[in-house]
Amino acid sequence: MFGALYASEGSSTDALVGVAAEFSPRYEVTGPRDVTLDLSGLARLFGSARAIADELQRTAAERGLAVRVAIAGTTTAARLLARGSHHAITVIDPGGEPEALASLPLALLANVTNEHSNVPNVPNDPNVPNDPNVPNDPNGSNELATFRKWGLRTLGDIARLPPDAVAARLGQPGVQLQRLAHGEDLRPLRPAVPEERFERALDLEWPIDGLEPLSFVLGRLMEPLAAHLDRRGRGAAVLHVRLHLVTRAVHERALQLPAPIKDARTLRTLALLDLESHPPAAAIDRVVVAVDPTPARVLQFSLLTRPLPSPEQISTLMARLSALMGEGRCGSPVAVDTWQPGAFAMKPFAPSQPPSPGLRTAAPPHRCAVALRRFRIPVPARVRVEQGRPIRVITDRRGLAGGVGTNSGTGSVARCAGPWRTAGNWWTKGTWERDEWDVTLSDGATYCVFRDRGTDAWFLEGVVD
């Protein structure tokens, strides 16, 4: 059982929605002056459908609204009856919609549209109240005009047409208009979802200064906020912390979380670590905590692989490292589009779950790979060159070419390949220009060495493993 409220011109939409929300949580705003609501289960509270309609009209009158109320078995029939009937209250038993709609004018269909159908928007009849929420399409198909040319004037005239003949002449839009004339629904009711705020605030009796007292306040706010998220099956995607200072300024921070989090202790720790790096400038007299919700994650762990650390643990660890090392210095390295040696960028650390071993059909073939173990800071070296080729490489670093602790101690070059000249970033201060060599020493170790052409200095770039 569905009901429709159609208000007089100039009525407030918010007031009309307020009336519908008092009776049912499942309501849909179908226009600036009409609301459709699901009345299922209200018979136990109010009694008959007529009693429900009387109560709806009485409640609307108390709010200063003049409305027409219609109750029927479908939302389409309720809307059409609320718009086209001249009675303040219209109640139709389920199954009697076609007979009740038969005498209504054809032009009512111009004001009943459906976003999931191909029913065209046609010019409205001047004798029917116009719906500003339904745009007219003067260039669109005109099935209603075709019905008028056929001499049809009421919804009953359309309902009595043979469906096959309507489909053959007007196609699917004509069939959908005929279904609307029967009072059939082309889609289910789409209930409005009220905006729900996930926010907690606390006004302090005395200003606080420092993170230690603030941690107690944040813990008091985070616990009910996390419980609210858990009840709604949501997690925090972004954490907002707003601190109102005694200077009337507002210190606001927003934390992008790598995964939906609803653990109160984790949220408090992340907020405190961020405020430790970005402390407020004065004492605090009001604390507001809010989150941007997102659907909570559902994890299915494998019995065959070791589970990764939880996102809460990873987020807390990364926040502690960022507070210690500085922002932008912690994460996962990624290659950048440049030939500059050793250049890389950082992205947020977000490990992915490895595939289950049970899903592998065959083991990958074993391949030998050669890797260059690059020294994060190139090691200075002394290189002797004859006829343009290095013949000896010596460094003071223990365990490296010709250094302390090596077997040969001489660093003589057995084989070498090169040079490969690279240069770049001449338009910035980070320019480089160097000659690179791959050298294998007499002890069997292979190194990548280069000469900086600007300073004529030699360095060890890395060792080949």
In a shared domain, residues 162 and 217: no
pLDDT value at 263 more than 50: yes
Per-residue pLDDT at 201: 92
In a shared domain, residues 162 and 21: yes
Whether the CB-CB separation of 207 and 175 falls below 8 Å is answered with: no
Tokens of 195: 């905006």
Query: d(Cα 332, Cα 330) in Å, to the nearest integer?
Result: 7
Find the domain containing 432 and state its range.
372-464
- pLDDT mean across residues, the chain: 80
- Average confidence (pLDDT) over 29-54: 85
Tokens of 171: 């196609």
In a shared domain, residues 302 and 203: yes
Whether the CB-CB separation of 368 and 356 falls below 8 Å is answered with: no
Tokens of 421: 């000249």
Is the bond preceding residue 293 a cis peptide, omega within 30 degrees? no
Query: d(Cα 393, Cα 403) in Å, to the nearest integer?
Result: 9
Query: d(Cα 329, Cα 323) in Å, to the nearest integer?
Result: 10
pLDDT value at 247 more than 70: yes
Q: How many structural domains are present in the chain?
A: 3
pLDDT value at 399 more than 60: yes
Which one is predicted more confidently, 143 or 384? 384
Beta bridge partners of 333: 346
Query: d(Cα 364, Cα 370) in Å, to the nearest integer?
Result: 18
DSSP 287-309: EEEEEEEEEPP-----SSSPPPP
> Does 358 map to a domain?
no
In a shared domain, residues 235 and 176: no
In a shared domain, residues 390 and 245: no
Per-residue pLDDT at 139: 33
In a shared domain, residues 289 and 378: no
Mind listing the pLDDT tens digit for each residue in 86-141?
Answer: 888 888 888 888 888 888 888 888 766 544 344 444 334 444 344 333 333 333 34
Mind listing the pLDDT tens digit for each residue in 196-206?
Answer: 788 999 999 89
Mind listing the pLDDT tens digit for each residue in 138-187?
Answer: 333 478 888 888 888 888 888 888 888 888 888 888 888 888 888 888 88
In a shared domain, residues 121 and 166: yes
> Does 156 map to a domain?
yes
In a shared domain, residues 265 and 332: yes
In a shared domain, residues 9 and 143: yes
Contacts of 33 (CB under 8 A, 6+ apart): 6, 7, 8, 9, 11, 13, 16, 129, 131
> Does 186 map to a domain?
no
Query: d(Cα 276, Cα 269) in Å, to the nearest integer?
Result: 10
In a shared domain, residues 33 and 109: yes
Per-residue pLDDT at 252: 92
Query: d(Cα 111, Cα 79) in Å, to the nearest integer?
Result: 10
In a shared domain, residues 206 and 320: yes
Per-residue pLDDT at 223: 92
> Does 187 map to a domain?
no
In a shared domain, residues 154 and 238: no
> Does 265 map to a domain?
yes
pLDDT value at 318 more than 80: no
> Does 353 map to a domain?
no
Query: d(Cα 82, Cα 80) in Å, to the nearest integer?
Result: 6
pTM of the entire predicted model: 0.47
> Does 352 map to a domain?
no
> Does 359 map to a domain?
no
Per-residue pLDDT at 123: 39
Contacts of 361 (CB under 8 A, 6+ apart): none
Domain of residue 210, CATH code? 3.30.1490.100
